[in-house]
Amino acid sequence: MATGPLDGVVVLDIATLFAGPLAATILGDYGADVIKVEHPAKGDPSRSHGPAKDGVGLWWKMLSRNKRAVTCDFGRPEGAALLRRLVERADVLIENFRPGTLERWGLSPAELHAINPGLVIARVTGFGQEGPYSRRPGFGTLAESMSGFAAITGEPGGPPTLPPFGLADGISALVCANAITMALYHRDHGSGQGQVVDLAIIEPLLTILGPQPLAFDQLGEVPSRTGNRSINNAPRNTYKTRDGKWVAVSTSSQNIAERVMRLVGHPEVIDEPWFKGGKSRAEHGDELDAHVGGWIAARDVAEVVSAFEKAEAAVAPIYDIRDVFADPQYQALDSITTVEDPDFGPIRMQNVLFRLSQTPGSIRWTGPALGTHNDEVYGERLGMSAGELSELRDQGVI
């Protein structure tokens, strides 16, 4: 049974790969009835993306959890007609085709709103629906490159660095889910009308880069790569322990910076005039790193973490996924939870994003096989007979 604040909300996920589908996953985790619509022959490319076991994609198991999988070639008139029937009783449609594609199939927002005026249509593209780049292929890597993120990531003098995972897609998914809930709230507590969410993947990452646009506009500043250091405070870096582990230290607040320097045996720097501000401390990063790095290098990671904890200073061991699984805090939060899967039995994956005291979300099932819910969705929601569905299968429509 669905649980969560979005119980009763029907979402049609016709997007592929990551930003749009992950937004739908988030909505599904919190109770929405998400119907994943895939091409009957090709399926969503994420089924074969990334690691697999016994020929079954593992990313798909997480990305399409809590979704009912149906097939429909809505690029064909018969399929477009079927999708329109699903739209009649839906609350949300999420798509990520290039601008103009849905219009070409007779599925434009205007045509869909004529069928269902309350429908919220989320359009997730690389560059948005307007502008000179709008029809270009758009992927998260391009957003990570063009937002300014890659330009400031990496070692000084080294190449720009891209993340080894879908950072821009993931952030865009969070933003998209938020935008959809805002649009639903406005519909249900305001106009009664649905609307279009136009989300360009190049924009959310730009937003979380902080004051860079303002600093350029007002000061002409163009930030450079600083490795693991920060231009806003110090000490802030990664440091290697005696037993070959790594830890990260943060001193975003003045009192934490002072505690760190007392802990590592250099309280004298606290009285220096330059130590009184984060940016001026950053200008003395070499000196501060030498003090902190030297102290950490003489100790094992457990001793370092314990000492920082007692001093109420901020440190964290740098984890790989093995450490995440073993960490008692993650275990206490059930951040990695166990879900029963028809292919693999009990499997472990990320839990829902946050805990709600009144309407908690849940993982009810993992990503299903292609077309698993065709009979269920088309039969129950649209009242189609077994004969009608068989005919559509024979035609390759579903």
Q: What is the share, in percent, of the chain residues with pLDDT greater than 70?
A: 99
Q: What is the pLDDT of residues 164-199, one digit of tens each?
A: 999 999 999 999 999 999 999 999 998 899 999 999
Task: Return phi, psi of residue 372, to 5°.
Answer: -55, -40
Q: How many CA atoms lie within 13 A of 233 on its CB side?
A: 13
Q: Report the alpha-carbon distance of residue 289 to residue 41 in Å, rounded.
A: 56
Q: Give, in order, the Cα–Cα distances in Å from 263 to each of 224, 270, 311, 346.
A: 31, 12, 7, 45
Determine contact, residues 233/282, Cβ cutoff 8 Å: yes
Q: How much is the average pLDDT of 122-143?
A: 95
Determine contact, residues 161/150, Cβ cutoff 8 Å: yes
Q: What is the pLDDT of residues 12-50, one digit of tens each?
A: 999 999 999 999 999 999 999 999 999 999 999 999 999
Q: How many CA atoms lie within 13 A of 78 on its CB side?
A: 13
Give the type of residue at 196. V
- 235 prior amide bond cis, ω within 30: yes
What is the greatest pairwise CA distance in the chain? Answer: 84
Portions of the chain given CATH number 3.40.50.10540: 10-207+343-394
Q: What angle do CA 81, 47, 40 make, to 5 degrees?
A: 30
Mean pLDDT over the full length of the chain: 96
Helix (H, G, I), strand (E, B) or coil at 142: helix
Task: Return phi, psi of residue 17, to 5°.
Answer: 60, -125
Question: Can you give the pLDDT at residue 190?
Answer: 86
> Whole-prediction pTM value?
0.95
List the catalytic residue out of 29, 33, 44, 169.
Answer: 169
Q: What is the pLDDT of residues 206-241, one digit of tens each?
A: 999 999 999 999 999 999 999 999 999 999 999 999
Q: Which residues neighbour 12 within 8 Å (Cβ) at sequence distance 6 or greater?
A: 35, 37, 83, 86, 87, 90, 92, 93, 94
Q: What is the pLDDT of residues 289-332, one digit of tens each?
A: 999 999 999 999 999 999 999 999 999 999 999 999 999 999 99
Question: Can you give the pLDDT at residue 8?
Answer: 95
pLDDT over 70 at 1, yes or no: no
Considering the segment(s) 10-207+343-394 as one domain, its CATH architecture is: 3-Layer(aba) Sandwich (3.40)
Determine contact, residues 398/82, Cβ cutoff 8 Å: yes
Q: How many CA atoms lie within 13 A of 44 on its CB side?
A: 34
Portions of the chain given CATH number 3.30.1540.10: 237-324
Residue 161, Cα to own-chain centre: how many angstroms? 19
Determine contact, residues 386/397, Cβ cutoff 8 Å: no
pLDDT over 70 at 367, yes or no: yes
Query: Which has the closest alpha carbon to 378: 363, 395, 393, 365?
Result: 393
| Catalytic-residue membership of 169 | yes
pLDDT over 60 at 101, yes or no: yes
Q: Report the alpha-carbon distance of residue 134 to residue 98 in Å, rounded.
A: 8
Residue 212, Cα to own-chain centre: how many angstroms? 22
Determine contact, residues 275/247, Cβ cutoff 8 Å: no
Q: Name the region of 307 (left: φ>0; alpha: ψ -120 to 50; beta: rest).
A: alpha
Give 92's strand partners: 11, 120
Strands 336-341 and 345-350, by their bridges, are antiparallel
- Assigned CATH for 237-324: 3.30.1540.10
